[in-house]
A = this chain, B = another copy of it.
Amino acid sequence: MPAGRSVDVVDLVERARAGQPRAVARLISLVENDSPARREIAAALTRYGGYAQVVGLTGSPGVGKSTCTSALVALLRAGGKRVGVLAVDPSSPFSGGALLGDRVRMQDHAPDPDVFIRSMASRGQLGGLSVAVPYALRVLDAARYDVVLIETVGVGQAEVEIAALADTTLVLLAPGLGDGIQAAKAGILEIADVLVVNKADRDGADQVARDMRAMQWLGGRCAGPAAWRAPIVKTVAARGEGIDKVVQAVDQHHTWLVEHGELGRRRRARAASEIEAIALGQLRARFAAVHGSAALAAAAARVAAGQSDPYAAAAELVTGILRTNSLG
């Protein structure tokens, strides 16, 4: 072992593959903390990929995402599946750690060694989650979790990008949380592979389902006959009702993905985004290394004072990076 190497990557990966949750947790922490070992870990994980079925779960605050995740975990476990959960909060660069809130409900599954649950928040780094989440996915995949659920907090762009890591994306709706047009505005019809109308025992649930069907009809007029049309499933997740139908819809979608060559295409697109996010992160680090934070602050002060414009300032910084390399 080379001197000064504090992480035995090969051993950690082996232990993760043997089903040790602490090794899995450690591997994920290493990338979250920008450990220099992360490249080596990524290399060690390479040949173990493509095993897990990845399911994204998104929707506005209040629709019952955590309850639904919890019910899905219970059902999948009853079927003997090992389940990983990544609860991602891209909108929380501030709190320095996700608020527990309804995470508490997930505690039911905490003693089960075949359920791995992890909260991830962005810590304010640009591209932080776009690197860390696919990496965590890679770790869980290598550790042979059959299903990985990625739950995100809202339906903003960051959530949409994270949901795009999934093979199948569930979008949750609930009555009383804004009408169909607002759902469509948030771009959810386009990303949903399965639409779940939760809290279906409340007034207005049928209306939400009808609105969704109408919007689908509007949006789908130009789609070919082979296109996947997201089924609409009603649930009362708090009582576990309809969750079996959700799992069924996910499996049907998975079969469709495989039959249409879409699974490979989605996974290649996911890899491309991941590579690009890492590459931009590397360029950004180089940025800081070449200029230091003071250079950006000085340029910003000139722009704020009306002495320079942001394009000129940016061009100067970029040229600086490239020039330094050619000398080095």
Contact = CB atoms under 8 A, between A and B. Distances in A.
Given A176-B176, A271-B299, 12 more contacts: A42-B312, A46-B309, A61-B155, A62-B179, A94-B191, A134-B310, A153-B186, A156-B157, A272-B296, A275-B296, A278-B311, A282-B315
Nearest to A296: B272
A178 B199 CA distance: 13
Interface string A83-104: 0000001111111001101100
A247 interface: no
A311 B154 contact: no
A221 interface: no
Contact of A187 (B94, B307, B321): B94
A18 B160 CA distance: 41
Interface string A176-213: 11110111111100110000000000000000000000
A1 interface: no
A318 B61 contact: no
Interface in A291-328: 296-297, 299-301, 303-304, 306-315, 317-318, 321-322, 325-326
A226 interface: no
A185 B42 CA distance: 31
A270 interface: yes
Interface in A236-279: 264, 267-272, 274-276, 278-279
Contact of A190 (B94, B155, B301, B313): B94
Interface residues of A, number: 91
A3 to B, nearest CB: 23
A45 interface: yes
Nearest to A279: B314
A300 B271 contact: yes
26 contacts: A38-B311, A42-B312, A43-B311, A45-B309, A46-B309, A60-B178, A91-B159, A91-B187, A92-B187, A99-B181, A101-B182, A154-B154, A177-B177, A268-B300, A269-B300, A270-B304, A271-B304, A271-B313, A274-B303, A275-B310, A275-B313, A275-B314, A281-B314, A282-B315, A283-B318, A322-B326
A300 B296 CA distance: 33
A149 B68 CA distance: 37
A318 to B, nearest CB: 5
A7 interface: no
